């Protein structure tokens, strides 16, 4: 069991899939660029500035989804996961998906369109 404090550590956000490419070193993986909305960063002048938080995810969903079917989808992303190098590519988060007893995989998406970066709670 985890505590509510443990759950609060998870930064789940809505992201929009911008691009999907096959991983160059793995037949089952995609490289997915996802827009997680706006974030505040320190600009070159030292002042706060806003920019889009675009991340690249490595996901093992290639056998279940055509790349074109993912473009534009809003998905749930674990945004504060420590980056991991997967087959030579750094993954900057993890998309959420489920698999049933029949081995059907489904990405967790939104019922309605919401703003990218919206928190999931």
- Give the per-residue pLDDT at 53: 96
pLDDT at 60: 96
- CB-based burial, 72-101: b 16+ in 10 Å, e otherwise: ebbbbbebeeeeeebeebebbbebebeeee
State pLDDT tens for residues 23-72: 999 999 999 999 999 988 888 888 988 899 999 999 999 999 999 999 99
In a 13 Å sphere around the CA of 8, the CA atoms on its Cβ side amount to 3
Domains in the chain: boundaries: 4-107
- pTM for the model stands at 0.91
List, for residues 78-112, the tens digit of each pLDDT value: 999 999 999 999 999 999 999 999 999 999 999 99
Residue 120 near residue 96 (C-beta atoms within 8 A): no
**CATH topology for 4-107?**
OB fold (Dihydrolipoamide Acetyltransferase, E2P) (2.40.50)
């Amino acid at each position: 069991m985890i505590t509510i404090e443990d759950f609060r550590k998870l930064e789940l956000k809505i992201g929009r899939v911008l691009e999907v490419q096959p991983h160059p070193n793995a037949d089952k993986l995609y490289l997915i660029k996802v827009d997680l909305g706006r974030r505040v960063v320190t600009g070159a002048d030292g002042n706060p500035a806003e920019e889009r938080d675009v991340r690249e995810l490595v996901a093992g969903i290639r056998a279940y989804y055509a790349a074109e079917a993912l473009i534009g989808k809003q998905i749930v992303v674990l945004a504060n996961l420590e980056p991991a190098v997967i087959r030579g590519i750094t993954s900057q988060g993890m998309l959420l998906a489920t698999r049933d007893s029949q081995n059907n995989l489904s990405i967790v998406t939104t019922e309605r369109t919401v703003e990218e970066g919206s928190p999931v709670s």
